[in-house]
């Protein structure tokens, strides 16, 4: 999906891959990367899946704020998302690796049906959802 206009561009430099470091050009991000224990690493640093999980959840809350605004509703500041990003080999003998995402959305003070409606609307506008659509399995639940 092409964007109409670049509003913001993030820049980061990664060295060493999963056993290295990542730094943003503005210095706000400066982290050690380490493979998780489950993949043979020490787990002493963060990993790409954790970064993706945090980024997707943060972006999705932004999308919720947007759709709530479109509906003239106020999103409870207590909203939170438990995000899970799983990594593994692709199914059915396909070559390579993939990820799956599960977002468990908690929206206080809103009935379940309306919360579900808003989560599905946010999924339509969220940049991460648009980037992963038809390529990554994303499971949405409203808790």
pLDDT class for 2, splitting at 50, 70, 90?
confident
Q: Give the pLDDT confidence score for residue 5 in this predicted structure.
A: 97
Q: pTM for the full model?
A: 0.94
Q: Is 137 helix (H, G, I), strand (E, B) or coil?
A: strand
The per-residue pLDDT for range 78-134, each reduced to its tens digit, is: 999 999 999 999 999 899 999 999 999 999 999 999 999 999 999 999 999 999 999
Domains 1-46 and 48-142 are alike in CATH topology:
no
Q: What's the CATH class of domain 48-142?
A: alpha beta
List the domain boundaries for the chain.
1-46, 48-142
pLDDT at 1 over 80: no
Pairing of strands 21-24, 12-15: antiparallel
C-alpha 4/C-alpha 68 separation (Å) is: 23
Give the mean pLDDT of 59-88.
97
Q: Give the pLDDT confidence score for residue 127 in this predicted structure.
A: 97
Q: Give the pLDDT confidence score for residue 85 in this predicted structure.
A: 98
List of residues 6+ apart from 17 with CB closer than 8 A? 33
Query: What's the CATH fold of domain 1-46?
Result: N-terminal domain of TfIIb (2.20.25)
CA proximity to 65, closest of 77, 54, 55, 53 = 77
């Amino acid at each position: 999906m092409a964007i109409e206009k670049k509003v913001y561009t993030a820049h980061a430099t990664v060295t060493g891959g999963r056993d290295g470091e990542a730094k943003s050009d503005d210095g706000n991000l400066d982290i050690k990367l380490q493979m998780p224990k489950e993949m043979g690493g020490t787990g002493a640093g963060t990993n790409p899946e954790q970064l993706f999980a945090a980024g997707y959840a943060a972006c999705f809350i932004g999308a919720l704020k947007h759709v709530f605004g479109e509906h003239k509703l106020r999103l409870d500041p207590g909203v939170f998302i438990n995000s899970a990003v799983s990594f593994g080999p692709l199914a059915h003998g396909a070559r390579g690796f993939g990820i799956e995402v599960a977002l468990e959305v908690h929206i206080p003070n809103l009935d379940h049906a309306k919360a579900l409606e808003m989560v599905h609307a946010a999924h339509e506008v969220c940049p991460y959802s648009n980037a992963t659509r038809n390529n990554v399995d994303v499971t949405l639940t409203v808790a």
